[in-house]
Structure 1
């Protein structure tokens, strides 16, 4: 009969923080396994030393590499994969012989723990269990005696290995935060905290619950002194101003405080189709001066996080609700910008803002729209000059207008022999409309009419295809595409698409 495999969390360092269950299982084990650093004594073994039975079989699982270089042909990943396979083989021999195995895990076993990789291998093969342990961040917050989160605060656990801009964004978007895996990442972590406006109030704790425990404000930490056993925690109180509701004190409401508000203004800006170089200096300056950015998630993410900036991201079909939220902030005296991709006035947020602003409640809010580079301009520039003459722009989305209206407009444009730029040609739920649009255009245009298909123009994965209306394959068109359908006069010269500025009389 096989033995049982149990991963036991033994806490962050203080042996007295081991649970009663952990102590019992370790003391009853036939085999005790534990990880160890490349040239270090096992920290897990040291924590559990007082409860490991005399004469028990011990299996030290010593890492071949941590973050250093290795000559393994598979690099670090290959070396670690082989290591865990070797560990699994060693422990399997005991389990197959009927011996119960306890694997010691610092902190909590399934919270960034190495033990999870052996648990993954054994859980479907042997009788396995996991005993939770006190995680390091719990000991760290206890050391500083500072609440991490209150009431409805959101807690986010992050790793210092995240790219600095991403780490700053996530820190700005949460209430409380834990940042693990410091060491060499600490300078970037500190910088991200500063960009997110969360440096003040952030705490650094090393070797939590151990005899060498040390804690101090992150702003005072010497980057060269940061060991592996360290973390940063950011209390929710640094994001949410303490209030009677959050603090559960002073529950008698003294009534609203009336403050004089500055003149209300809302900026609506276009970020361009993608590259930072296509962001206008005017827009960049405007974004540097606001305290709130409101928009669709993937556009909000393009605005770099910095101290004092709060980002409000939402889905792709709530434009008017988003506009109202921005107007409410502006009316309250906040400096706010609503962002769109491309130009905000071309199928963007500008129209939605003006729609919401028809409400008399926003009569005192001034709306200022700053132009941006539109997607049709970007695709046209990549192709040559297909919109060098009269052209029309149509969205194939029928979310805000009946499809019959779209078809009627397509016929009118085709009959007028205008170059046509098509936005939103397809989506996950609209896969057949581009084929219908092609057929409608072919009623009035020849099959050899030039068509430009631009996908993700300005981004690393961009592609540009020049084809004809007759050869256009609707199956190749998705939501990332913008199409330009040429006029009768549009031509291709040495691979470049252009439309003459002149039109013959009677044409």
Structure 2
């Protein structure tokens, strides 16, 4: 009979924070394993030292490398994979001999813990258990409670972030949450502090090192010497700081006008900005300059996420089906004198936010708000350019979504385009809830077009995962189409040559 493998969380450092269950399991263990740094005493063993029975076999799992370089042929990843595999072999020998193994894990085992790599290897082979522990951020939050108040309250959202994220991404996520915990500091600290400043969250952010330990200390992040930051440190950004008034920023995550604290000072111009299909190179200089000058960005979450965070910028992200509500929120801000940009993917005027803004602006309440639309590279342009020149002659653009128009209207327009022999660009061809429209559109088009009509399928064009497929109307597989795709259905004259897909400008 094989032994049982248990991963036991022992908290952040104070032995008094080890749970009763964890203490019992350590005291009953035949084998106690723990990780240790390259040239350091095991912190995990130090915490649990008084709980390990004298009869237990101890297995020290010493890392071959933690940071820096290694001469391993597989680099850092290869060295660590080999290390975990060797650890698994050592501990498996005990388990196969029927001995129960307890692996000590600092903090909580499944919260950025090294123990997960061994648990992953053993969970399908041996009986396993994970005992939760007090995570370091809970101890850190308790340490600063007298100075900062609660971490989160009521509907605050807490985001846990690794400091190893790219600085712009870290800044964006910090701006989009009420409360945050930032782990993995050390050498990342300067970039993390910069990201906090860009997000307008440096004020009120607390640095805590060695939480719950005898040499614990905490101070405002702004006051920390970057050269003194050890591994056992983290940053806590309490949720209350998101709502604290500040002279240089306005915090309002919910884009509803009632949540925005603004002061009437005469309406400002509202910008509607097309961000292009994705790559930064496809954002126009005009759009880039405009986004660098506004105080608020309003839009669908993934599009707002593409705007770099910076000091003084407030982001208002919302879902994909509230376009008019989003437009009203932006108009309210502009009406109150705030500099606002509504962002949209591709070109804002092509199935984007421009029409929703003008729809909302029909309300006489916004008569004093001027609206300016800044064009962007549209998805159809991007896909066409990748394919060659399929829209080099007359073409039509349609959306297969029937959310804002009935399907019979979509089908009637498909027939009209097909009968007119126009190249057709199809947006929104499918979604999780709309799986039949592509097949129906294919059937309708085949009633008027030849089976060998050229079809271009562009997926995620402009992004790292982009693909381009050239097929025919008859061979198009609707099951492969989703919202990441844009289709271009050629006219009778559209050709495929060695250079690419193109439609002649002339008609004979």
Tell me the TM-score range normalised by the shorter chain.
0.7 to 0.9
The CA deviation string for residues 221-242 of structure 1, in whole angstroms up to 9 with x for no partner, is 3333222111111122221227
Q: Is the 8 A contact 1:12 1:134 kept in 2?
A: yes
- CA distance in 2: counterparts of 1:232 and 1:279, whole angstroms: 34
**Cα offset, 1:388, TM superposition:** 3.8
TM-score, scaled relative to structure 2: 0.83
- CA distance in 2: counterparts of 1:221 and 1:391, whole angstroms: 60
- CA distance in 2: counterparts of 1:453 and 1:101, whole angstroms: 54
**Cα offset, 1:433, TM superposition:** 3.4
**How many residue pairs were aligned?**
492
Alignment of 1:343-362 (within 5 A): 343-362=347-366
**Cα offset, 1:55, TM superposition:** 5.5
Describe the shift of the 1:416–1:228 C-alpha distance in structure 2 as closer, same or farther (beyond 3 A). same
Alignment of 1:101-112 (within 5 A): 101-112=101-112
TM-score, scaled relative to structure 1: 0.84
**Cα offset, 1:408, TM superposition:** 2.4
The CA deviation string for residues 240-296 of structure 1, in whole angstroms up to 9 with x for no partner, is 2279xxxxxxxxxxxx99943441543221111222122122211221122322222
Which shifted more, 136-145 or 93-102?
A: 93-102
CA RMSD of aligned residues (A): 3.4
The match for 1:143 is 143
Describe the shift of the 1:129–1:350 C-alpha distance in structure 2 as closer, same or farther (beyond 3 A). same
Which shifted more, 7-16 or 340-349?
A: 7-16
- CA distance in 1: counterparts of 2:55 and 2:489, whole angstroms: 82
- CA distance in 1: counterparts of 2:34 and 2:321, whole angstroms: 52
2:394 to 386, 390, 393: 390
The match for 2:40 is 40
Give unpaired runs (5+ residues) of structure 1. 244-255
The match for 1:294 is 298
The match for 2:462 is 458
Q: Is the 8 A contact 1:269 1:344 kept in 2?
A: yes
- CA distance in 1: counterparts of 2:498 and 2:34, whole angstroms: 68
| Partner SS state of residue 267, structure 2 | coil
Alignment of 1:151-162 (within 5 A): 151-162=154-165
Describe the shift of the 1:452–1:220 C-alpha distance in structure 2 as closer, same or farther (beyond 3 A). same
| Partner SS state of residue 381, structure 2 | helix
- CA distance in 2: counterparts of 1:258 and 1:467, whole angstroms: 54
| Partner SS state of residue 184, structure 1 | helix
Give unpaired runs (5+ residues) of structure 2. 247-259
Describe the shift of the 1:415–1:153 C-alpha distance in structure 2 as closer, same or farther (beyond 3 A). closer
Describe the shift of the 1:308–1:257 C-alpha distance in structure 2 as closer, same or farther (beyond 3 A). closer
Describe the shift of the 1:353–1:30 C-alpha distance in structure 2 as closer, same or farther (beyond 3 A). same
Q: Is the 8 A contact 1:198 1:307 kept in 2?
A: no
| Partner SS state of residue 40, structure 2 | coil
Alignment of 1:301-380 (within 5 A): 301-380=305-384
